[in-house]
Amino acid sequence: MTPTFHKTRLAPTPSGYLHLGNVISFLITVSLAKKHGAKVLLRIDDLDQRRVRTEYIQDIFDTLDFLEIPYDEGPRDLSDLKNRYSQRCRMPQYQTLLDALAEQGLLFSCDCSRKKIQKNHPKGWYTGHCLPRNLSLTGQGLAWRLKTRPDFTYALTDYPAACRNCQIPEDMAFFVVRKKDGDPAYQVASLVDDRFFGIDLIVRGEDLWDSTCAQGYLSSLLPDQPLAGTTFFHHPLLKDGSKKLSKSEGALAIRTMRGSGMKKPDLYRLAAAHLGISEAITSLEDFIPAYLSLLHPAR
């Protein structure tokens, strides 16, 4: 029986121009939404305003429009993002979660610099240096970290319906929930946003598995356990050689490819080829059935 989902999301971060890997993730998300009857939310993760640039946000709208990738909910332009959908509009919700964690005694303050963390562990993992120091949560310039339990196991649902037990990875121990500048950290914002918008299918790259574990752990501490009914799909990454693609103006940036004269059918063919799809793909209508057949081959 094919499961039905309520809503999934496209969640780009406007810290650079979108590349082919972003587009492939978008196409996979929309394909699964089509198969399972889910609506699609565009959620632009613009919380870190120091890295956000207007041209990066506009690039998201331009790319979705150019490739005719539809979404049902979310901002339609820069003004709509700023006034209704920016993560800055949800700061009270993030603070409510942080306050709840603090009231439960699950947080501690940390003043460690990156240099100090690197010095304390050969791989740069945080070892809980500030946990016994009992620094005040009201101090200035302090990060808030979560008191994680490495032995605690919790269950997540792996697409399409498999139960997967996980624990906090060593490199995510005592992860930051509020940064030194007072802004909520990514794990908090992402969890709150997914709960706020009613997301029950999260599609993301396999490099974000550790973040999934962190958010699942955080969810398990909350009375409503918001991710208990959420299914996760982690897709393989598109790489440039042996390295994960990053946002840039490089050869695989959509902006660069469009500037060189590539049209919509060219980009769909390229995305399909990277996924190992052999059919002639020139549009979303071609891509969806071809990808679903690749994901769920006929027996």
Amino acid at 41: L
**How would you label 19-42 residue by residue, b for 16+ Cβ within 10 Å and e otherwise?**
bbbbbbbbbbbbbbbbbbebbbbb
Residue 83 located in a structural domain: yes
Please check the confidence at residue 242 and state whether its pLDDT lies above 60. Answer: no
* Residue numbers of the domain that contains 274: 7-295
Minimum mean pLDDT range among 117-121, 252-256, 271-275, 294-298 = 294-298
* Cβ atoms of 274 and 24 closer than 8 Å: yes
**pLDDT tens for residues 116-157?**
999 999 999 999 999 999 999 999 999 999 999 999 999 999
* Cβ atoms of 147 and 178 closer than 8 Å: no
Give the per-residue pLDDT at 241. Answer: 56
Residue 239 to residues 2, 27, 52, 244, Cα–Cα distance (Å)? 31, 17, 24, 5
Give the per-residue pLDDT at 51. Answer: 93
Query: What is the residue whose two structure tokens read 């992860």?
Result: 175
**pLDDT tens for residues 166-211?**
999 999 999 999 999 999 999 999 999 999 999 999 999 999 999 9
Please check the confidence at residue 246 and state whether its pLDDT lies above 80. Answer: no
Residue 1 located in a structural domain: no
Contacts of 242 (CB under 8 A, 6+ apart): none
Residue 31 located in a structural domain: yes
Which one, of 121, 146, 108, lies nearest residue 222 by Cα?
146
Give the per-residue pLDDT at 197. Answer: 98
**pLDDT tens for residues 72-83?**
999 999 999 999
Residue 205 located in a structural domain: yes
**pLDDT tens for residues 5-57?**
999 999 999 999 999 999 999 999 999 999 999 999 999 999 999 999 999 99
Give the per-residue pLDDT at 1. Answer: 75
Give the per-residue pLDDT at 252. Answer: 82
Please check the confidence at residue 238 and state whether its pLDDT lies above 80. Answer: no
Residue 257 located in a structural domain: yes
Number of domains in the chain: 1
Residue 2 located in a structural domain: no
Determine the average pLDDT of the residues in 93-98.
Answer: 98
Contacts of 243 (CB under 8 A, 6+ apart): none
Determine the average pLDDT of the residues in 234-241.
Answer: 77
Please check the confidence at residue 236 and state whether its pLDDT lies above 60. Answer: yes
Residue 28 located in a structural domain: yes
**pLDDT tens for residues 283-298?**
999 999 999 999 988 6
Structure tokens at 101: 């964690």
91: domain CATH number is 3.40.50.620
Please check the confidence at residue 240 and state whether its pLDDT lies above 90. Answer: no
Residue 82 located in a structural domain: yes
* Cβ atoms of 17 and 51 closer than 8 Å: no
